[in-house]
Amino acid sequence: MTAADHHPPIVGSPLQLLWPDEEATQAYARRLAATAQIRNAFLALRGDLGAGKTTFVRHLLRALGVAGRIKSPTYAVVEPHEGAPAPGGGAPLPIWHFDFYRFNDPREWEDAGFRDVFASTGLKLAEWPDQAAGLLPTPDLTLDLAVGADDTRQVTVRAHTDRGATLLAA
Ligand SMILES: Nc1ncnc2c1ncn2[C@@H]1O[C@H](COP(=O)(O)OP(=O)(O)O)[C@@H](O)[C@H]1O
Ligand SMILES: [Mg+2]
């Protein structure tokens, strides 16, 4: 794997967002949730501990109709969820929330069936994707979160695929 593989080409211009509070996080999550493309997307979330990655995931899951307590996957690497069916009906939406913070054994990628997850339809979300660099497919969108002054979140959204470009335009 080369550095280029870990930083796939960017499609279009990055989007710079400022989230002054969690309501802004929620508003963006709702925008993405309202798209058809989100239902088969892979979003990579980068940023230091406390940057707001899990918070964004929780708002996105809620906006997609996930009910009940939303556990953070830090110890399990992945938490599966079910979102509401698409408008018009059909099957529930499979969602996988990965946190690769403690991921350090590449064998787990095969053993735990992560390859199959990424090959199947549904929404995949990954915190700390760089910890699984070389194993993960190209994300449709990368969100880079950073804490700014007054606890605001500065977010850079980049598209790496056509689906990502559509999501970026949402
Ligand atoms: N947009 C935001 N504005 C203000 N605080 C936020 C925002 N997003 C997240 N937070 C706060 O930051 C803290 C850490 O967020 P978390 O999502 O757990 O970070 P990460 O998953 O990146 O480690 C939480 O207490 C959360 O309430
Ligand atoms: Mg987190």
> Three-state secondary structure along the chain?
CCHHHHCCCCEEEEEEEEECCHHHHHHHHHHHHCCCHHHHCEEEEECCCCCCHHHHHHHHHHHCCCCCCCCCCCCCCEEEEEECCCCCCCCCEEEEEEECCCCCCCHHHHHCCHHHHHHCCCEEEEECHHHHCCCCCCCCEEEEEEECHHHCEEEEEEECCHHHHHHHCC
Measured in Å, residue 52 CA sits from the centre of ligand 1 at 3
pLDDT in the model for residue 73 = 82
pLDDT in the model for residue 76 = 77
- CA–CA distance, 73 with 124 (Å, rounded to integer): 13
Measured in Å, residue 168 CA sits from the centre of ligand 2 at 22
Pocket around ligand 1 at a 6 A CB cut-off:
19, 21-22, 24-25, 47, 49-55, 127, 151, 153
Question: Which amino acid is residue 147, in one-letter code?
Answer: V
pLDDT in the model for residue 3 = 46
pLDDT in the model for residue 5 = 52
Task: Render each residue's pLDDT in the chain as its tens digit; 170 residues.
Answer: 444 456 788 988 999 999 999 999 999 999 999 999 999 999 999 999 999 999 999 999 999 999 988 988 867 799 999 999 998 889 999 999 999 999 989 899 999 999 999 999 999 999 999 999 999 999 999 999 999 999 999 999 999 999 999 999 99
pTM of the model: 0.95
Measured in Å, residue 129 CA sits from the centre of ligand 2 at 12
Q: Measure the CA angle with vertex 134, ends 103 and 140; round to 5°.
A: 95
